[in-house]
Structure 1
């Protein structure tokens, strides 16, 4: 297991090595002159404030929604849960396309923060719901019996308990924002990532682009350090599931109607407006035409790649998380952190690193689907890590020790005791990675074999030329194909998956 985890971390370091190797061609003076330009300062400012605003707003949306659904007398809570999960089925660049096609007022900082938050808050909402479901309600009842008000119970008991799940979701949001390209390009909001793509595509300046990618790596390391500091060293595994009854819900009373209206308005912004925009352009778009000869093969390729990459990424996450959770030494935690670093890089940087390796040492692998799957795994491994870790942390090591004392081998104990308990997390991890893969754009454009298209690449080809009507069928197909995975994630977060 340690050797396998180390090999996976080494594969994730390939893009980092490429960034360092490429930037080495710039002398120190040249690199300094490039980085101190006013434009670089502007890009850093834009990226930094997008992180603060996007992650902060996503946490507010996610935690508030989870608390309303799981801890209040909200009418039709199950239906609202499904509605709050629905944005997962709408890729961020499709959401950006829908908003820009509706109003150009979103092409600003506040518009960018709003759109990315509406796209990524489910990454916080889902783990928060799962954590609230696992929380023993007797803890809240004891606090209430000691005279604590509902707000104090939430701040002093509930929030610290669900904090690890929220931090994991916030980390994912931050990493996605660092690497986001499609939505921000459509929203005309320049960041380090959009500048990297412009350097590669327009200026053909590889060293300068990878130098900017190095700045993204530093930002990613900062996010990881903050998340580790906030998480702390505490272990949270327990034997038993606590009180086997639902938590007492806070009665909304007179504020029920205002809360429902506010929640309906929020869902309308997150789901209703993008859906309405897609339908409008599908029906009225002057350039709209349904080309099944292009749509069906692209859909089939998207589904196949998403399924394969989801399974492979989840399998790769298991040994990494096992070492980090069960051993908790510096080496195992370092391996886990390495797996997160690359996800902050734009897909084009990861793709170019793999192209360099393939051309130099593995020419038979160049322009093949397996190489594309490797890129997906490197890019989206953190999604699987967060999902698997959230479940493994709650599996007591004593269960495996008892199995070993009864004569089972370590592999047998893992297969017969641990894996059945991890299945919900493994299913969630596979679904989360599959959703991300189905919407990946830049790495797919560079690594896909000639003639291979996906829904994301076909959509971008049309949307980038402002052919909104022609892009709408591909966007709608992306949403429809993402629905099964979204439903699975919604059910598993509430403990309903079978």
Structure 2
């Protein structure tokens, strides 16, 4: 037996020199819990009048609006993602590889950019109404309200579900579906009776991502003028003299988030979907679409056109209008540099914080490591507007000198997106044989030398994936940036937001297009290999 093999066969023992890693991991988890903890402290200071004002009929309406929108978007996203994933993975769809890439590209478009484009295209006096005017159509139904928010969020969140379902399909044993068809099931019957039940875990995981995204969304619902918790919190913060009532309203939203998490946990707690045997590692036999080929292509083209082509075309149109009229674009390049700078800094800091957490979770499983892991995900469950307000309250009271500095902004990004970096690192770390690290220590290298010379080179793909994912989501983040960015520190997101509020559509289009270009780069890193997202 080799040295590495004999060492790997021994159980890993706790080593005192790992206490530094534990301290860093616990500190990172505590950082993620700080906003929620401070919100609880601030809400406890609210008087009875503040609680009575918040817990009113208006709050109930916000609760119903937010829950209804989350449920509707999640259902519609599943209805889109499930057939698209099946068509692109299990059928002889023409140009399947191209469709796999095209159908996830809406992830690069922030929801508020999509909302801006849809308002210009489909809103009052928009492009569609102008096209129909020669036909005698004087007005079209308004896109504002629930319908507009639902349409926008569905089209720009269904790729989250699509990626997870696609990865689940690739992990399924194709022999099960083939056995069902050999027993007389049609391809459609095997899909509903065999494939879909095996995709319950990916469906639940993807649905949770979509629901949390909708609950935390601020830009799209604000542009579509649909009242949800995030919009109400933002408006109330600007008009309320008693900020404790804002903290209470934030806690109501947090409670809704944890109800969604509890429902997901209760459904998956006793679920068992693993194989009895090892299964097969072969590619599935593709199903012929035959007469359904053209309807499938038309459906995919329609979804891709609305979610991808329409926003990009609208932005290019208004940019060309601005250029033809001599419009200037002040501050757009500095905003682009600020966006790249803040996103890169957030990606580096977040990955650095996540490394000790991933190490203790993977290498030292136990009650404490599980607690650290769960605590690190608390910030991810909080909407950006809630984290931003918590840090505003904390910095003004505890460390006033940090208010509206880049340090607080990066701290907020790290809290919000820490689990994204942890997931990439954990997936790479579990593939590193522990015996390799033990062999390095046997050669008189300490833990830090072993990490930098052995472990880090082996987990570089996970580091890059985590960095790219944090970079992408930071680039698109709006509410935390609006509330926490230093004065005159404009990003592309805040630049677009300000210009659309001032009805400078050409300037907003320039910021939007640059934002799409910057967001597309990490998309290529993350999904350019066409492997999807592993759960």
TM-score by length of 1: 0.87
Measure the CA separation in 2 of the matches of 1:157 and 1:322: 37
For 1:400, which of 433, 438, 451 is the aligned residue?
Answer: 433
- The DSSP-based 3-state class of the residue aligned with 2:331 is helix
User: Are 1:88 and 2:88 an aligned pair?
Assistant: no
CA distance in 2, matches of 1:328, 1:160: 31
Asked if 1:338 corresponds to 2:375, the answer is yes
Q: For 1:172 and 1:486, how far apart are their aligned partners in 2?
A: 18
Determine if the alignment matches structure 1 residue 248 to structure 2 residue 258. Answer: no
Which of 502, 507, 512 is the matching residue for 1:470? 507
- 1:462, distance to aligned residue in structure 2 (A): 0.6
Of 39, 60, 67, which residue of structure 2 is paired with 1:19? 39
- 2-side partners of 1:495 and 1:342: how far apart? 25
- Does 1:57 pair with 2:81? no
Q: Secondary structure at the match of 1:449?
A: coil
Instruction: Give the number of equivalent residue pairs.
Output: 491
The aligned counterpart of 1:306 is 343
**Could you say what the CA RMSD is over the residues aligned between the two structures, in angstroms?**
3.4
Structure 1 position 248, deviation (Å): 1.3
Pick from 57, 77, 96: which aligns with 2:96?
77
**Structure 1 counterpart of 2:215:** 178
Rounded to whole Å, the distance in 2 between the matches of 1:471 and 1:478 is: 10
Partner residue, 2:128: none
Counterpart for residue 111 of structure 1? 148
Q: Does 2:56 correspond to 1:37? A: yes
Judged with a 3 Å threshold, the aligned counterparts in structure 2 of structure 1 residues 277 and 425 are, in CA distance, closer, same or farther, namely same
Residue 121 of structure 1 aligns to a residue whose secondary structure is helix
Deviations along 1:286-305, whole A, 9 cap, x unmatched? 99765455111111111122
Asked whether the equivalents of residues 199 and 205 of structure 1 are also in contact (C-alpha less than 8 Å), the reply is no
Worse-matched range after superposition: 314-323 or 53-62? 314-323
Give the aligned partner of residue 486 of structure 1.
Answer: 523
- Shift of residue 426, structure 1, vs aligned partner: 4.1
Residues 450-461 of structure 1: pairs in structure 2 closer than 5 A: 450-461=487-498
Partner of 1:316: 353
Q: Which of these residues, 382, 386, 392, is aligned with residue 349 of structure 1? A: 386
Asked if the contact 2:385/2:480 (under 8 Å) is kept, the reply is: yes
CA deviation after TM superposition for structure 1 residue 183, in Å: 0.9
Alignment counterpart, residue 129 of structure 1, candidates 137, 146, 166: 166
TM-score for both structures, normalised by structure 2: 0.81
Deviates more, 1:173-182 or 1:346-355: 346-355
Structure 2 SS opposite 1:106: coil
Q: Equivalent residue of 1:453, what SS?
A: coil
Structure 1 residues 146, 388: closer, same or farther in 2, change over 3 A?
A: farther
Residues 392 and 86 (structure 1 numbering): CA distance in 2 closer, same or farther, change over 3 Å?
A: same
Match of 1:10 in 2: 30
Using the TM superposition, give the Cα deviation of residue 117 of structure 1 relative to its aligned residue in structure 2, in angstroms: 1.1
Q: Is the 8 A contact 1:380 1:433 kept in 2?
A: yes
Distance in 2 of aligned mates of 1:310 and 1:166: 28
Q: For residue 307 of structure 1, report the CA deviation from its aligned partner.
A: 2.1
Structure 2 residue aligned with 1:258: 295
Give the C-alpha shift of residue 205 in structure 1: 3.8
Q: CA deviation at 1:386?
A: 4.9
Distance 1:242 1:420 in 2: 32
Alignment of structure 1 residues 165-314 onto 2, 5 Å: 165-232=202-269, 243-284=280-321, 291=328, 293-314=330-351
- Are the structure 2 counterparts of residues 299 and 291 from structure 1 closer, same or farther at C-alpha, using a change threshold of 3 Å? farther
In 1: Cα distance, 2:439 partner to 2:180 partner: 41
In structure 2, C-alpha distance between the alignment counterparts of 1:278 and 1:293, rounded to whole Å: 17
In 1, distance between residues paired with 2:325 and 2:522? Answer: 28
Q: Unpaired segments of 5 or more residues in structure 2?
A: 1-20, 124-141
Give 1:96 deviation, angstroms: 0.6
Once the two structures are TM-superposed, the CA of residue 327 in structure 1 deviates from its matched residue by 6.2
Q: Distance in 1 between matches of 2:241 and 2:529?
A: 45
**Structure 1 residue 340: Cα displacement:** 3.2
- In 1, Cα distance between the equivalents of 2:311 and 2:176? 40
Alpha-carbon distance change, 231 to 55 in structure 1, aligned in 2, over 3 angstroms: same
CA distance in 2, matches of 1:137, 1:416: 41
2 CA distance for matches of 1:319 and 1:237?
30
Deviation at 1:201, TM superposition (A): 1.2
Larger radius of gyration between Structure 1 and Structure 2: 2
TM-fit CA distance, 1:456: 0.8
- Judge which range, 485-494 or 170-179, deviates more: 485-494
Where does structure 1 lack aligned partners over 5 or more consecutive residues? Answer: none
Task: Supply the distance in 1 between the matched residues of 2:325 and 2:374 (Cα, whole angstroms).
Answer: 45
Deviations 1:267-299 (A, max 9, x none): 111112212221222223599765455111111
